[in-house]
Every structure is written in structure tokens, then in C-alpha cells.
Amino acid sequence: MNYIIFDLEWNQCPRGPEFENPRIPFEIIEIGAVKLNDSFEIVDEFSSIVKPRIYKYLHNHVRQMLNYDETYLRTGRPFDMVCRDFMKWCGADYVFGTWGTGDLVQLQKNMDYYYMNKFSEPFKYYNIQSIFAEYYEDLGSCKLEKAVAALNLPIEEEFHTAINDARYTALVFQKLSKKHLNDQYSYDCYHEPKDKESEIHAFHRTYSEHISRGFEQRAEIMEDKDINSFRCYKCKRKISKKIKWFSYNPSSFVSVGHCWYHGYQKGVIKIKTSNSGKLFTIKKITPITKSEVEDIRTRQAELREKRREKRKKH
């Protein structure tokens, strides 16, 4: 299996959001990618400029960041051609890696615009920004430039061309490959799981996750047994809830469970809206300490008190 580490540059409506095309608020103008084999060796590169069709002039913010302008973009090829070449170049057996979550969203949004999106369900990929953040807690979810500097990687080319950023991201990925990388994949959720059978139940080394199918009604969500169940992230046994699901805010719920063998665990359910407009959930279960349990209990009591006061006022 190969790793495809890619980066995109995109433009937006230069006249402001009120004039944008809502089907494609961000138009891709460059695709850059690096292919690594399963030993994390760089084996190939892909780089192509896209001739814009929707927004022919650059937005000011984009212009300031890029190292090229419209004249250069006019030498590119249309998106559908470039994207078809790119997908062909990726091959049959690969997994994507990107810096953050944005590139996979924009790639699919642009593919949708040209009715060429072949992805229809969540798929595994590596969010290299979040993997880096886990090992370099002091830097957190930082910019690619900071990560490259922190790892003492040589900076020879400018940032903010797709191919250069893809190269830097690939180098960061190579460095991180010495860690437990196999376990650190994420799921792209541009499309939610289509039905119950395709829902995702993933058990990682340090947490477990469940991604639900889509729902039309908010009220149905917390009634679903797979969503409201609490299983140990490690032994997968159903465990007792020490604190039942309660809402932190309208789109997230928290609960605490206890496994006789693997201790206290926190469950977090986030309600998200998919690209099709349906509601789906991502549940994560992670181990926590006894004092974190107390913090959650305190938070729950505070929220209850707040709601009680609110009700009194009405």
C-alpha cells in the first residue's frame, strides 16, 4: 500500500462571499502530492496547476499568500482533467495523508461540482497535523511551517505552493512514521455511513470511535442503541455508566463509564451535519483519571444549576 500525501491551493470569490457560487465556494487551483511506499520512502511526485473556471481573479488574501498569479494559472489545465490524472496517479491501493482536514473536504467539494466524486462513504486517512499535535503537545494543532522547524527539517523551498507543502508534509510524515502510525488513522466524514451495516466501529490503541449513519431528526439520535451504548475502548465489553449521557451544548454529549479491568473512561458524542445535510454522530471513548471524573461531575452540576436558573427567569 502507498501513502499519498497531498496538498491543495484554492481560491475564493474575489468580490466577497455574497457573489460566490455556493456549490463551490473554494476553487482548487493547484494539486501537489508525494507518493510514499509502505516503507515510507518517497517514490513519486504529482504536481499540476488548475486553470480556474469559476473565479478567474485571485482573492486578495490568496494573492498575498501565493507565489504566483492569474497569468501563471492560465497555463494550467481544467480541474476535471487534472483531478482525473491525479486519481489515476494515486493507483488502486493507497491511503491519503494531509495537513489538517480541509484538503479532503475541498477536493471532494470540487469533485462534486464536476459530478466526478467517486467517494461515497467515510474512508481512512492520516491527519498528519493532528498526529503531530499529539506528540508535540506544546505546539498543538500548528501550521506546517512550525512543525517543519520543530523537527529541524531543511527549509529550502518556499511554503504555499501545493507541491512544496506536500513535500514538507511528507517529510513530517516520514519522521512520525517511527511512532505507532498504523493506529493513528482518522476517518474522512464528508459522506456519512449510508446505513447501519456501514457504520464504523474502530478500536485504536488509546481510544475507540463509532461513526453513525445519518438521521433526519435530532430527536432520534440519542435513542439509537449503538450511539448511546458505552463499551470499554480496550476490551469492547459493555460497561456500566457512572455518569449518564448529558449534553454539554446542543451538539455534544458526555458520559463516564467504568471497566473493572481498564478503569474510568470518558465518552463524547458529537453531532455533525454531513454534506448531504443529514445529522450523524462521532463518538469517542478515551481513558481518564479519577480526578477527571470528578471534574466532569462538577461540570454537570454547574450546567444543571444554570438551566434551573434559566427556567426560573422564564
Minimum distance from residue 260 beta carbon to Zn ion (Å) = 7
CB 187 within 8 A of CB 207: no
266: nearest Cα among 258, 278, 280, 256 = 256
Query: Backbone phi, then psi, for 153, in 5-degree steps?
Result: -80, 145
Q: Tell me, what amino acid is at 241? A: K
Cβ closest to Zn ion, residue 167 vs residue 234: 234
Pattern of binders to Zn ion over 116-145, x per CB under 5 A? ------------------------------
- Rg of the Cα atoms in the chain: 22
Under the criterion CB under 5 A, does residue 262 sit at the interface with Zn ion? Answer: yes
Nearer to Zn ion, 65 or 235 (CB): 235
Please, is 51 exposed, middle or buried when counting C-beta atoms within 10 Å of its C-beta (0-12, 13-18, 19+)?
middle
Residue whose CB is less far from Zn ion, 246 or 260: 260
Q: How far is the CB of 162 from Zn ion (least distance, A)?
A: 44
Report in angstroms how near the CB of residue 258 gets to Zn ion at its nearest: 9
Q: Of residues 40-99, which lie at the interface with Zn ion (CB under 5 A)?
A: none
The C-alpha angle with vertex 46 and arms to 11 and 26, in degrees rounded to 5, equals 15
Nearest alpha-carbon partner for 284 in 213, 222, 203, 224: 203
Least distance to Zn ion, CB of residue 239, Å: 7
User: Smaller CB distance to Zn ion: residue 61 or 237?
Assistant: 237
Closest CB 240 distance from Zn ion, rounded Å: 11
Query: In sequence order, what are the beta bridge partners of 211?
Result: 200, 282
- Binding region for Zn ion (CB under 5 A) out of 101-109, 120-128, 205-213, 229-237: 229-237
Nearer to Zn ion, 131 or 259 (CB): 259
Considering only 88-96, 115-123, 200-208, 228-236, which stretch makes contact with Zn ion by CB under 5 A? 228-236
Which DSSP string corresponds to 97-162? Answer: EESSSHHHHHHHHHHHHTT-----S-EEEEEHHHHHHHH-TTT-S--HHHHHHHTT----S-SSSH
Toward Zn ion, which CB reaches closer, 237 or 306? 237
Pick the closer one to Zn ion by CB: 11 or 208.
208
For residues 172 and 259, which CB has a smaller minimum distance to Zn ion in the complex?
A: 259
Output the smallest distance, CB 195 to Zn ion, in A.
29
Q: What are phi and psi of 43, to 5 degrees?
A: -115, -20
DSSP output for 206-257: S-EEEE---BS-HHHHTT-HHHH--B-TTT--B-EEEEEEEEEETTEEEEEE
Q: What DSSP state is assigned to residue 180? A: S
CB of 300 to Zn ion, least distance (A): 23
Stretch that binds Zn ion, among 9-17, 38-46, 85-93, 235-243 (CB under 5 A): 235-243
Q: Using CB under 5 A, which of 43, 65, 81, 235 touches Zn ion? A: 235
Which residue's beta carbon is nearest to the bound Zn ion? 232
259 sits near Zn ion (criterion: CB under 5 A): yes
As a whole number of angstroms, the distance between CA 189 and CA 213 comes to 11
Q: What residues make contact with Zn ion under the rule CB under 5 A?
A: 232, 234-235, 259, 261-262
